[in-house]
Amino acid sequence: MANPSTPLVRLSGLTKKFGAVTAVRNLNFQIHQGDFVAIFGPNGAGKTTLLKMVAGLTSPTSGQVIFGGDRAAAARAETGYVSHQTLLYNELTGRENLLFYARLYGLEGTPDLVDSMLARVGLADARHMMVRGFSRGMKQRLTLARALLHEPRLLLLDEPYTGLDQHGSRLLTRLLGTLREERRTVLMITHNLAEGLELSTRLMILHRGRLAHQARQEELTRSQLENLYFEIVER
Amino acid sequence: MNNLKLIWWLALKDLKIEYRSRQAFLTTLFFAVLILIIFNFAFDPGSNATREASPGILWVALLFPGIIQLNRSFQSEVEEGTLQGIVLSPVDRGVFFLGKFMANWLFLVAIDLLILAAFIVFFNFALSGGLLWVLFLMILVGIGFTAVGTVFAAMVSNIRIREVLLPILLFPIIVPIILAAVNGTREVLIHNDFSTLYRWMQLLIAFDVIFLAAGFVVFDYVVGE
């Protein structure tokens, strides 16, 4: 049983430069088990770069990400990642996609696990359908299933609401709400202030690569968050 | 054992996708047959000069179209971000390389069999024991070509001019196996002389072992970031 006071992820002096451009500047914060952290920020604030560094996809220019005592790159099996892209094969069925990823993670009882995960995200009936025939919402739910398949200790979500219609957004919010109830540890980037506020336990605003503000969810109402957000990004 | 299964699953996934889309298979085959048809019309298939040059024509038709499949094998992974999905998983990147290599190699061998059949028809070769040795050469050349090609295809997969860059990077490196393939084929198919074949075979086996091992080791850096 993990000590609740021990952070699951610790970012220490995290900085990323692309040539002369500094995308992320000296970020220091911790994420504890059960935290659902929503990160807001305008385009170019460094949110995706931050998430990629936490996932181990990009190495920081300086500073480090400590994942439960290990470097993030060594903890790939402990992380689930939902990016702008689906990371799904269009020419495979939903079930085949999950079976493939389950095997990459060396999961036991793979077919049963995959079927139960498909049922959980409401895609049991579409399991033999090619992903190329899926709607954007179905793809996003399958993407979430792929990221959750190996029961990661940390789930990273990069703008999961992008391209979803209202029905798709509602389904996704319901799924993410379940994750929050299960006390999963989630780091979510979103432009959607209302959804982010509803789902998260902690909020952060990133601006020009810096952590401009952070608060616990109960400290802010929706209108306060909106006022604070626009005050920061319009500075 | 577990890694062998992973290699097979990685390869099986690629083969299944190709079987369903048939994009690379049809374009590669069409390109190869087109090369054979052009050479067939350009030269008199019955002349001695054409027979002497035919091993070179065969290997141009076998290897040049293979570039299409090598490019496709990573292009589709990059387009949907699935390369990121594999890189994020705990699978050893050397194992990932071997899975990709295996799929590309099986694809190449399958298509090469069809190209060889077309070559026999277009250039009037009789079925003989020498063709079995050409098959053996195809397998060995395919291993080296695919091992180097898989690494370079991964390297250029994020570059816009990858279709141009891949052959420029690949062909200078595989000059030794092209020489071995053309000379070995000429010995067994035209001169019916097997005395020097083993030297070309040795060269091919050495090349295959070196570049398979190199691909396994360097792939971590190639797909790392």
- Other Cβ atoms less than 10 A from the Cβ of A12: the count is 15
Instruction: Extract the tokens encoding A118.
Output: 């498909």
Give the pLDDT confidence score for residue B195 in this predicted structure. 83
- Whether chain A has a CB inside 8 Å of the CB on B85: the answer is yes
More confident residue, A109 or A103: A103
What average pLDDT does the structure give for chain A?
88
Q: Do residues B3 and B92 lie in contact, with contact meaning Cβ atoms separated by under 8 Å? A: yes
Report the SS3 class of residue A121: coil
Q: Do residues B29 and B111 lie in contact, with contact meaning Cβ atoms separated by under 8 Å? A: yes
Whether the per-residue pLDDT at A4 is higher than 60: the answer is no
Whether the per-residue pLDDT at A74 is higher than 60: the answer is no
Number of Cβ pairs < 8 A linking chain A and chain B = 64
Determine which helix (DSSP H) or strand (DSSP E) holds B92, and give its type and residue range. none
Mean pLDDT of A42-63: 90
Whether the per-residue pLDDT at A71 is higher than 70: the answer is no
Concatenated DSSP letters for A134-149?
A: S-HHHHHHHHHHHHHT
Q: Give pLDDT < 50 ranges for chain B.
A: none
Q: What is the b/e burial string over A39-72, where b = at least 16 CB atoms within 10 angstroms of the residue's CB?
A: bbbbeebbbbbbbbbbbbbbebeebebbbbeeeb
Instruction: Extract the tokens encoding B72.
Output: 């496709």
- Whether chain B has a CB inside 8 Å of the CB on A108: the answer is no
Give the pLDDT confidence score for residue A72 in this predicted structure. 46
**What is the nearest CA distance from A84 to chain B, expressed in angstroms?**
9
Contact check, Cβ <8 Å, B80/A87: yes
Contact check, Cβ <8 Å, B88/A56: yes
Give the pLDDT confidence score for residue A114 in this predicted structure. 94
Report the SS3 class of residue B89: coil
Q: Which CATH superfamily is domain A9-86+153-233 in?
A: P-loop containing nucleotide triphosphate hydrolases (3.40.50.300)
- Whether chain B has a CB inside 8 Å of the CB on A29: the answer is no
- Other Cβ atoms less than 10 A from the Cβ of B202: the count is 11
Report chain A residues whose CB lies below 8 A from the CB of B81: 83-87
Q: Do residues A23 and A46 lie in contact, with contact meaning Cβ atoms separated by under 8 Å? A: yes
Instruction: Extract the tokens encoding A58.
Output: 């990009």
Give the pLDDT confidence score for residue B114 in this predicted structure. 94
Annotated domain spans of chain B: 2-222
Concatenated DSSP letters for A150-195?
A: T--SEEEEESTTTT--HHHHHHHHHHHHHHHHTT-EEEEE-S-HHH
- The residue of chain A with its CA nearest to that of B82 is A87
Give the pLDDT confidence score for residue A48 in this predicted structure. 92
Annotated domain spans of chain A: 9-86+153-233
- The residue of chain B with its CA nearest to that of A72 is B88
Residues recorded for chain A: 235
- Whether chain B has a CB inside 8 Å of the CB on A104: the answer is yes
A212-218: long-range pairs with CB below 8 Å, 24+: A214/A29
- Whether chain A has a CB inside 8 Å of the CB on B6: the answer is yes
Q: What angle separates helix A94-104 from helix A110-120, to the nearest 10 degrees?
A: 130
Give the pLDDT confidence score for residue A69 in this predicted structure. 61
**What is the nearest CA distance from B154 to chain A, expressed in angstroms?**
16
Whether the per-residue pLDDT at A130 is higher than 50: the answer is yes
